[in-house]
Every structure is written in C-alpha cells, then in structure tokens.
Amino acid sequence: MAYDYKIAKAIVEHGGRRAKKSPYAAAWYEAVCEQERPQPLVFSAVDGNVRAEEGVNLTLTATAAARDWQKGERAAAILSSGGLLILDRI
C-alpha cells in the first residue's frame, strides 16, 4: 500500500485528538477540479461553496500532486480548518 493511502486510512479509523473530542465523524467530500495547471490548481467542494487554490488553502498528497489534473475531474478530499486536502482522484 502507498504511504498516502495508509495515512488516509489512519485518519479515518483513528481520527486524532480533535476528532475524538468532536461528536461528528470526519467528513469526506467530493471535490471538482475547476482550473488546471500551468495556472495554480483550483478545486471546489460542497456544491461550489468551498473553493481552494493551490498555494493558498489547498494541500495535495504526494499521489495527488503527481497527477495531471484536468478540468472537471473529481477527487476525494477532506475539509479541515478552512483548507482542503486532496487525497486522490475518484
């Protein structure tokens, strides 16, 4: 298994100190690529209500960063403290 997969699985299974204090389960979202490289990547989630731009509030795992993202492609993402973590393509 890839390291990114193992860490994502650990987040879901164990959460963290903050997740254990929260009565709500960790939420996974479907994000859609709105802008592709060479410009900064832009993803939106939650029906376009959350928008994340590379270098501002968007973080990519090594697996996701290695991909060539095209406009309209979907990704699995975690929304946390105003930022969006893109795990991998769906």
- 72 within 8 A of 45, measured Cβ to Cβ: no
pLDDT at 62: 93
Per-residue model confidence as pLDDT tens digits over 5-63: 777 777 767 665 555 555 555 568 899 999 988 889 999 988 888 899 998 999 999 99
Domains of the chain: 26-89 (2.40.50)
pLDDT for 63 equals 92
Q: What is the per-residue pLDDT for 61?
A: 93
CA within 13 Å, CB half, 83:
11
50-89 pLDDT tens trace: 899 998 999 999 999 999 999 999 999 998 878 899 999 9
- Neighbouring residues of 89: CB distance < 8 A, sequence distance ≥ 6: 64, 67, 69, 73, 74, 75, 76
